[in-house]
Amino acid sequence: MADSEKPQLYLITPTQFDFDSFPSTLQRVLDASDIACLRLSLASQDERIVSKSADLIREIAHERDIPLVIDTHVQLVETLGLDGVHLPDGGRGLRKLRETMGDDPILGADCGASRHVGMSAGEAGADYVSFGPVAASVMGSGDIAEEELFAWWSDMIEVPVVAEGGLTPDLVAKLAPVTDFFAFGAEVWEQDDPIAALTHLVAPLR
């Protein structure tokens, strides 16, 4: 990514949310910022809960021309009318998925802090790779995705890269020249005012 280009914003849903109140909160957040992609990322493995959650937010996203991808649940992408899937474990099985699903669905891969895993996902056909956490966080194995990894990727690899996990305004400023997307989740939703939280986090991009 050229240094003159600003990274885009990628929003990750809470791992669980209230069906009555969250849709309106999500609408306000999406209308307050320019969001490039939305990921449905739920703790529940109950297909009924996942399906209902997707039904609640799909229209909200699509009304705003924001693609909605789902974490892990490949089998639900077509069923629920979603735009793609975010795969764990470096996108294991991604090459076969690309062959069976075709070019249209977005296939993203969580690659932790591993350059090698990221390269493998890119070669297998990932539309983007995600590295993180970028600071101490509950996600991942405890390894931190350092600025050096993003800088190398930005210089050497064309596949878009996402920075996520433990983001702060300082880290946004530091990583802005070397990442294509910032993915925000808990950093936004765990605050009393999600719009103010997101505005604060991305202030260095303005």
- Examine the pLDDT at 141 and tell me if it is beyond 70: no
Domain boundaries, the chain: 8-205
Query: From the DSSP assignment, how many helices (H) and strands (E) are in the chain?
Result: 8, 8
Strand partners for 21: none
- Which CATH number is 8-205 given? 3.20.20.70
Q: What is the pTM of this model?
A: 0.94
Strand partners for 106: 84
d(C-alpha 121, C-alpha 83), whole Å: 19
3-state secondary structure of 183: strand
What is the mean pLDDT of the segment spanning 45-54?
96
What is the mean pLDDT of the segment spanning 123-130?
97
Average pLDDT value over all residues in the chain: 94
The pLDDT confidence band at residue 6, using thresholds 50, 70 and 90, is very high
What is the mean pLDDT of the segment spanning 6-11?
97
What is the mean pLDDT of the segment spanning 60-75?
97
The pLDDT confidence band at residue 138, using thresholds 50, 70 and 90, is low
Share of the chain above pLDDT 70, in %: 96
What is the mean pLDDT of the segment spanning 179-199?
97
**What's residue 3's pLDDT?**
42
In this predicted model, what pLDDT tens digit does every residue of 148-164 receive, in sequence order? Answer: 999 999 999 999 999 99
Pairing of strands 106-110, 84-87: parallel
Query: Could you give the maximum distance between any two Cα atoms of the chain, in Å?
Result: 45
